[in-house]
């Protein structure tokens, strides 16, 4: 496996056309990356990473390719909202067990589309209530549940404080926050160690050619002493392979990897 690095660069399996497939590791290897953020699954395959045989396939491919399983993501929460669907509650609880099996520590909980929390006080109340119930299990397992949504850093912090658990953090997407008009560099410094992981994104642009100042991102991450993963979820104007190779090389230069 790869040597220790302050910042490791990975990719989301859905971004490289390999959502729900262990082939994601061989693609990540082609891109020169350190790891993959893997999807827990979909409604169609009943969140297949919850099963032992699928877990073994992922572990075998990860080892074969020398590419780490960086973290999990439950993107299906965008259409099966955590705030209102009992299935989502079970998925989140089960994802903690999957993390232990795959030797990873972070689960991304998505709150977009039907799961959007903006201007939804009742929805936020339900999310807080449910997180309070599952947080003790996550704490015991040493797993972090990372919230990714359209909310501001201050709104995310309010949820974290209301839940009152070290297992609940923010999964910070620099591109999403920028499109919402938030000062992403100020938000990173405000959130500090409540950020569990990052998505690198700049809608429509290769990194360094768009609107997100990744040098300023790097400085903000240094200020909060962030050490961990940054997953590429970027645009592909030159096709996936060429675009992501360029994005990876750019991030390695900016972050001095």
CB 228 within 8 A of CB 7: yes
Q: Global pTM?
A: 0.96
User: What is the reported pLDDT for 91?
Assistant: 98
User: What is the reported pLDDT for 5?
Assistant: 85
User: What is the reported pLDDT for 238?
Assistant: 97
7-254 homologous superfamily? Divalent-metal-dependent TIM barrel enzymes (3.20.20.150)
User: What is the reported pLDDT for 1?
Assistant: 42
Q: Give the tens place of pLDDT for each residue, 21-78.
A: 999 999 999 999 999 999 999 999 999 999 999 999 999 999 999 999 999 999 999 9
Which residues, given as ranges, of the chain have pLDDT below 50? 1-3
Helix 214-223 / helix 184-191 crossing angle, nearest 10 deg: 20
Cα–Cα distance for residue pair 73/14, rounded to 1 Å: 10
User: What is the reported pLDDT for 2?
Assistant: 42
């Amino acid at each position: 496996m790869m040597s220790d690095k302050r910042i490791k660069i990975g990719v989301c399996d859905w971004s490289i056309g390999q959502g729900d497939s262990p082939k994601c590791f061989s693609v990540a290897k082609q891109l020169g990356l350190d790891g993959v953020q893997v999807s827990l699954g979909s409604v169609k395959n009943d969140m297949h990473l919850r099963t032992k045989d699928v877990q073994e396939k992922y572990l075998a491919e990860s080892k074969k390719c020398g590419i780490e399983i960086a973290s999990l993501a439950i993107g299906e929460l965008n259409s099966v909202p955590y705030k209102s669907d009992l299935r989502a509650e079970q998925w989140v609880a089960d994802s903690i067990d999957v993390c232990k099996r795959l030797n990873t520590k972070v689960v991304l909980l998505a709150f977009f589309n039907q799961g959007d929390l903006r201007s939804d006080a009742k929805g936020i109340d339900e999310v807080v209530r449910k997180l309070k119930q599952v947080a003790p299990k996550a704490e015991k397992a040493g797993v972090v549940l990372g919230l990714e949504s359209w909310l501001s850093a201050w709104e995310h912090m309010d949820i974290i404080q209301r839940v009152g658990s070290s297992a609940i953090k923010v999964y910070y997407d620099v591109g999403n926050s920028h499109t919402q008009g938030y000062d992403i560099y100020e938000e990173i410094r405000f959130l500090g160690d409540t950020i569990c992981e990052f998505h690198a994104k700049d809608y429509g642009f290769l990194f360094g050619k768009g609107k997100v100042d990744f040098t300023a991102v790097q400085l903000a991450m240094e200020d909060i002493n962030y050490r961990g993963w940054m997953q590429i979820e970027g645009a592909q104007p030159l096709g996936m392979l060429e675009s992501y190779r360029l994005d990876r090389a750019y991030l390695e230069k900016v972050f001095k990897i």
